[in-house]
Amino acid sequence: MIFGSQVTDEIFSRRELLLRGGAGFGALALSGMLARDKAFADAGSLAPGQAHFAPKAKNVIFLFMEGGPSHIDLFDPKPLLNKLAGQRMPESFKRPITAMGETESPLLASPRTWKRHGQS
C-alpha cells in the first residue's frame, strides 16, 4: 500500500504476470484436486469418535485474548495484593518490571472475595 501522493504504475509483462501469479494458479489447482479427493474419501475416517474418558466438565469458558488474561479473569487469587492494598508499590517489584514503577499510585486490592472449592 502506498501512502501519500506518490502513485506508481507498474505494468507487468506477460512473463512477470505468469511468474508472480503462478503460485496463485497452483494453489487454485491444488484446492480443486483436494476437493475431488475428499469426495471419494471414507466419510467415517474424519468423523468424531468417542472420548477416551467420561467428561467431568459441564461447561467450558474459552478466552481468546491478545496477550494474556489477567489474574482476575483466570480466577487466580493474589493474597499479597490484598495485603498491600493502599500502599505504594515496593521497590522489589519496581526493578524487574520497569513499566509498573513509572507511577506512584497505591496498589488496589481485588474487588472479589475468593473461597476454596473442590480438591486442589
Tens digit of each residue's pLDDT (9 = 90 or more) over 72-120: 667 777 788 888 889 887 777 766 555 554 567 788 887 777 777 788 6
| Integer angstrom CA distances of residue 112 from 27, 76, 79, 108, 119 | 53, 11, 11, 12, 21
Give pLDDT, residue 18: 78
Q: Would the pTM of this model clear 0.85, i.e. be above it?
A: no
**Over residues 11-18, mean pLDDT:** 79
Grid cell, residue 116, equals 476454596
> In the predicted model, what is the mean pLDDT of the chain?
73
